[in-house]
Chains A and B, each alone.
Chain A
Amino acid sequence: MPTPSRAPHGARLSRRAALATVAALAGGALVGCTPDRKQRRREGEPAPVEPKVDPDVAVAAEALANQERMIDLLTATGERHGRLVELLAPVVATHEAHAGLLSDAVPDEESPATSLSSSSDGESSAGAATSPSPAPDSSEDRRTAVAGDPARALAQVVAAEQELTTATKRHAFRAQSGAFARILGSMAAGAAQHADVLASAQVGKGASS
């Protein structure tokens, strides 16, 4: 039977190929002097305004920043409410896997700390605006930003996962590489799964450590 999982040969990536797809974004990050560009310069034509980085690298940098903010929130929540650590452990593992994959796609000069603050296009700003709330700077600040009631703290995490799902789907929509869009779409689905599981988790009062 033509089960949904049986894709035509070559339609799906091996793990190595998937990782290579992401790494290739970094490899092609800087828009160099292409033959066409060199030709134009020799002919004295004004060079068109071009982005300094591959658009998908900018997408990856934004997505990575969102993942790191999510990890910060999860870490701070676990620090404030020790009993939530076990519940949040698989969530942290998922986002660390996402961040690890995305960091391979982002060259150092496009690290989240610089890419979002220097972003000037509207889409990037919109993406940043819908991402999980920026975490405070210090560890202590992050911890105090977490609600004192564990149920409310968990609700904060659920809301952040839902926002991250939406933001990552937007990144997948924008991605020019189909293979990269597939990975981002899957990441969004993974965040949605955790939001669903955490939303139905029962947490009693007094879970603070």
Chain B
Amino acid sequence: MTPQEALQKTLAGEHAAVYLYGVIGGRVSSSSAAELWQRVRDAYTLHRGRRDQLMAMVRATEAEPVEAEVSYELPNAAGTPAQLQRAALSVEQRCAAVYADMVGSTSGANRQWALDALEDSAVRLLGFGGEPEPFPGIGEL
């Protein structure tokens, strides 16, 4: 995977994350599940910012950023608070895997960006019920 392909792949992931966090956030009650609502809202804001950063990073390579798809499939039914939390966890785990791949396919400032994103994602998913694991973002280890 070339560095430019890695950026595009990560951007595609961010498009999905922004969409899915938006849907999940719309289904979480801000009153009965206030903590989850806040965590989802924070994640949505963060990933939207990362999406915009990545679009600029792709353009810096003189490529056209990949566009978002019309819609994305939720990881589960996302009806109950427990399902919504698991859906958010799934989104963040997928993001961690994408960031780990980006670390391996980039260098310099782009690799540093991916390292910071991977660390943040690994910690953020704990807030959605995830457990620490030896190799976050690397499923095969």
Contacts and interface: CB of A to CB of B under 8 A. Distances in A.
A3 B136 contact: no
Interface residues of A, number: 41
A3 B94 contact: yes
A194 B119 CA distance: 11
A185 B72 contact: no
A81 interface: no
Interface in A172-202: 172-173, 178-179, 181-183, 185-190, 192-194, 196-197
B89 interface: no
Given A1-B73, A5-B93, A11-B1, A186 B118 contact: yes
Contacts of B28: none
A182 B94 contact: no
Interface string B9-42: 1101111110000000000000000000000000
Interface string B91-119: 10111111111011110000110111011
Nearest to B14: A4
Report whether over half of chain A's contact residues are helix, strand or loop; otherwise say mixed.
Answer: helix
Contacts of B96: 189
Report whether over half of chain B's contact residues are helix, strand or loop; otherwise say mixed.
Answer: helix
Contacts of A181: 103-104, 111
A123 to B, nearest CB: 15
B104 A182 contact: yes
Contacts of A183: 135, 138, 141
Contacts of A28: none
Given A3-B94, A4-B16, A179-B104, A165 B134 contact: no
Contacts of A1: 16, 69, 71-73
Interface string B123-141: 1001000001111111111
A80 interface: no
Interface of B: 1, 5, 9-10, 12-17, 69, 71-73, 91, 93-101, 103-106, 111-112, 114-116, 118-119, 121-123, 126, 132-141
Interface of A: 1-5, 7-8, 11-15, 17-18, 90-91, 93-94, 97-98, 101, 165, 169, 172-173, 178-179, 181-183, 185-190, 192-194, 196-197
